[in-house]
Structure 1
Amino acid sequence: MRFLRSMLPQSARRVFVHALRVSLFAAIILLIHQRFAGSSLPSTTPSPIRLDDVVRLLPDAASLGAANGDGSRSVDDPQQNSIGYVLQTSPQSDHIVGFSGPTNVLVAFNPDDVISGIEILSSGDTREHLDEVRQSEAFLSSFDGMHRDEVANSPHVDAVSGATLTSLAISESIIHRLGGAKSSLRFSQPLTLAEMQTFFPTADRTELDADQSRWDVFSGSRLIGRVIRSSPATDNIVGYQGPSDTLIGLDLDGHVVGFTVGQSYDNEPYVGYLREDDYFRKTFNGLSLDELATADLAAMQVEGVSGATMTSHAVAEGMVVAAQERVRAAQQKTPDAKSFSLTANDVGTLLVIAAAVVIGFTSLRANKRVRIAFQLVLVCYLGLTTGNLLSQAMVVGWAKHGVPWRNAAGLAMLAIAALACPIFTKRNLYCSHLCPHGAVQQLVKGRIGYQLKWSRSVSKVLHIIPALLLAWCLVVGIAGLSFSLVDIEPFDAYLFPIAGWATVAIAVLGIVASLFVPMAYCRFGCPTGRLLEYLRFNAKSDRWTVRDWIATGYLILAIGLWFA
């Protein structure tokens, strides 16, 4: 840094050092993303089959014949005698996604159409799940000795513990490539009578129809309704972390009477939020299957469940796709799936952001009445109504899986404003003018006469807490621990009907503490605020401080965990 001071003027040095600071943050986000997101395989032209790969499955292989009409290639021994043939699952099965991508599998057959072995050629799935599958000899050999027709007509259901989605997707890919009907291995359990009674309480028996996709529900001898499930049509629609099987109840006229989430690979407690939200589960009530199949979710202003936006939007989209599959519509994609649209809450959030910019960057911020009125808007609208608050759980989740522009546009715009303002304008607009929890603390600040004071040394110790929480978030994000990061911050408490006890306790304690110590949680407990403050461009940005060395340590920790 002394070299920079001697070579660059202060203004240029400030920009350079600040760019390094932002780069540290970006590098950590990229590491988390690369840790979980595999690059998808191309779905147009399969990779050439190499003889070396074939030899591992058919040791006597000496040469490969030309590709046949179905993409298979014959295999000959050194004497030019046929010893079988091989084919790969790509590109025909590239639409079948495991945890994060499709997998291309080489399948070897003997001359009698019996499988001799399988080999994973390449994959867009996450490395850790793929390693679990590769290390499972039981799974890789489980197809050995099965006739081609047997595989296609009798779906293979074994899964690898710790890599369930990946291994089941591989099985589905092989079945699909061999001409078998696409059945769901991920949601293979039949529906129970108790699940039917969710929609029809008097139900006492069910019958599965001929095409295995609809259940007729009876009370005694009387038909009272029907139930369809979204799987397997929606097995590749992923919410926060995985697909969900949605059950849709229909009356005798074919109109929706409700839906519920069955088995799911998505994160708890998000799936639980959906099951407990009666309003969301009545979203499509009264629609016929034809109307549901052509539903435009943006035009209907379908709102997600606060705290589980990605999961709930995936379920809603899955219902449209399931309806399309049921009525055999020509188009199998969710309408407007790639278009960017704004819901009413997204527009409301954008207006709040615009108001915060106007207030925060003008003299209005000194107007007490304006400030208090806007703080109440933040608490009531952003907090209690939309639940749009930034958190480390959100940061880590988006780093892993990408920003859900289509499912949570309002929250995405809030995140952009929160990051862009401190980086480019020297103002931490989110903490001062956009955070509902910060607004509550500002409203209670100084409301009682007694104020707690402590020494500077105690303050320094307390200031370490957000830094330690950030380190823990990094460990959870990179290592993929099952710990729920919503439990270390108070923000889910604004969704109090579904909030956990830990986040409620932190919220209450933070507000109570702010009665005695101004902005107590913001100063001594908030990792998100500490991150934004670190990214803030200021007059001292030309200096490489202790905070920067700590951030460098975070990056080193992230790299170590990534390789570990």
Structure 2
Amino acid sequence: MKINIRHAAFFTAALLLTAAIALSRDGRLLGMTPGGSNEGETRTEWTAADGSRLISTEELAKDVLGFGGSVPLHIYMREGHVVRVEALDNYETPPFFAQVARDILPAWNGLTADEALKKEVAAVSGATISSRAVIENFRQGMEYARGTASVPNEREYTTVRSLAALATALCGLLLPLFIKSAKYRFIQLLANTAVLGFWSGSFLSLSLLTNIAANGVKTRHAALALPLLFAAFVMPFLGKKGHYCSWMCPLGSLQELLSRLPVPKINIPAPAVKWLEYLREAVWLAMMMLMWLGVGFGLMDYELFSAFLFRRAAPLVLALAAVFFALSLVTPRPYCRFLCPTGTLIRFAQGGCTCAAAAPRAIKLSLAASFAAAPLWVAVRTFV
């Protein structure tokens, strides 16, 4: 297989971009802190200002990950009973995690460690990944509190939902290589929307990519993303550019299904399409720059993918989703073509930006160099 040098260069730059954001946000790559420094090691227990025994799960459960990363807790105890549980700063999607904090954290108040460990606390519907991470953090905190070994809970939540998501992803990855049928495509689009989208919430996003770059594949949710990652970043090297966006992305699938409805279509002039594509790349570049600088990480939460988990999605996300779904009735995949930051990163990894393709060679090289150099600058800024 002949490797396209330009493709390989931009793919490497995309990896560096994602690594830079992970370093800037979480200070680690694939679960490791560059340099291996342990300065300022986190305490596990101390006495709080009100005299309570305070147990921190920052170190106890550092490998327990939610959707955006670790979700450490402070557990306050007095006379052997839980007084309150507080969540520390994390990178879970705020509207989702706010509901988790309201519904789950007070559930253990007033219980002893033994009672709290026996109590079954249900995950919040629509935020199960964050919920389970919080519950596991608390469990390990209580194991520590009663003096038993704090062994990470290795139970895997292998459910029908997970298996269905994996099967759907594998079908979208492999079957289009062998089946050339409009009827099959329609079925795959429906499965992507229903199973990967609304049922399991399995899709690529800047938030998920940053989480994987920072922590590695340590959770079931991250593992389910492996076929999606393969389609997005490896299939283009096999001559299948755009495979993920065309065959697996639930948001793109839903837009295409809506565009098939018998509604009069509008024809966007080619010059307008070109400028809208430039706008998409400008939005993406602005997001990357802000996150390189260590700010703006919350912008990742406003990609429209979370609209599939509509019971916990932010109102602004739902409103934007409604606008783009309405536009999908009259023009094909408007979010994919004119805004999607994750899709732009995938396109960039396949060989650069639309605006860069039309630029002189010197500008192309300068753009590639800047994308490669910026992550190194972030690393130096963060750790030196």
Q: TM-score, normalised by structure 1?
A: 0.54
Cross-structure match for 1:24: 13
Query: What is the Cα deviation at residue 500 of structure 1?
Result: 0.9
Residue identity opposite 2:61 in structure 1: I
1:354 to 170, 180, 193: 170
Query: What is the Cα deviation at residue 442 of structure 1?
Result: 1.0
**Residues 356-435 of structure 1 mapped to structure 2, 5 A cutoff:** 356-363=172-179, 365-368=180-183, 370-406=184-220, 408-435=222-249
Q: Distance in 2 between matches of 1:423 and 1:102?
A: 30
Q: Which runs of structure 1 show a deviation greater than 6 angstroms over 4 or more consecutive aligned residues?
A: 99-103, 280-283, 302-305
How many positions carry a matched residue from both structures?
Answer: 357
Q: Distance in 2 between matches of 1:247 and 1:373?
A: 51
Residue identity opposite 1:467 in structure 2: E
Cross-structure match for 1:37: 27
Alpha-carbon contact 1:100-1:124 (below 8 Å) kept: no
- Gap runs ≥5 in structure 2: none
Cross-structure match for 1:332: 150
**Structure-2 change in CA distance of 1:349 and 1:418 (3 Å):** farther
Cross-structure match for 1:265: 89
Query: What is the Cα deviation at residue 509 of structure 1?
Result: 1.6
Q: TM-score, normalised by structure 2?
A: 0.75
Query: What is the Cα deviation at residue 351 of structure 1?
Result: 0.9
Query: What is the Cα deviation at residue 241 of structure 1?
Result: 5.1
Cross-structure match for 2:286: 472
Residue identity opposite 1:335 in structure 2: N
Query: What is the Cα deviation at residue 304 of structure 1?
Result: 8.1
Query: What is the Cα deviation at residue 461 of structure 1?
Result: 0.6
Alpha-carbon contact 1:475-1:561 (below 8 Å) kept: no
Q: Distance in 2 between matches of 1:431 and 1:489?
A: 15
Q: What is the DSSP-based 3-state SS (H/G/I as helix, E as strand, rest coil) of the residue aligned with 2:225?
A: helix
1:521 maps to 2:350: no
- Gap runs ≥5 in structure 1: 1-10, 41-98, 104-121, 126-165, 173-181, 191-207, 214-228, 249-253, 538-543
Alpha-carbon contact 1:264-1:271 (below 8 Å) kept: no
1:343 maps to 2:158: yes
**Residues 104-503 of structure 1 mapped to structure 2, 5 A cutoff:** 123-124=37-38, 169=41, 172=43, 183-184=45-46, 188=48, 231-232=55-56, 235-238=59-62, 239=65, 240=69, 243-245=72-74, 262-267=86-91, 269=94, 270-276=96-102, 289=114, 292=117, 306=126, 309=129, 311-329=130-148, 331-336=149-154, 341=156, 343-344=158-159, 345-363=161-179, 365-368=180-183, 370-406=184-220, 408-503=222-317
Greater C-alpha radius of gyration: 1
More RCO (CA 8 Å, sep 6+): 2
Q: Distance in 1 between matches of 2:84 and 2:199?
A: 23
Residue identity opposite 1:245 in structure 2: H
Residue identity opposite 1:336 in structure 2: E
Q: Which has the larger displacement, 544-553 or 416-425?
A: 544-553
Residue identity opposite 1:264 in structure 2: L
Query: What is the Cα deviation at residue 234 of structure 1?
Result: 5.5
Q: Distance in 2 between matches of 1:425 and 1:289?
A: 57
Alpha-carbon contact 1:384-1:494 (below 8 Å) kept: yes
Q: Which structure dedicates a bigger proportion of its chain to strand?
A: 1
Alpha-carbon contact 2:29-2:216 (below 8 Å) kept: no
Residue identity opposite 1:318 in structure 2: N
Q: What is the DSSP-based 3-state SS (H/G/I as helix, E as strand, rest coil) of the residue aligned with 1:123?
A: coil
Q: Which structure dedicates a bigger proportion of its chain to helix?
A: 2
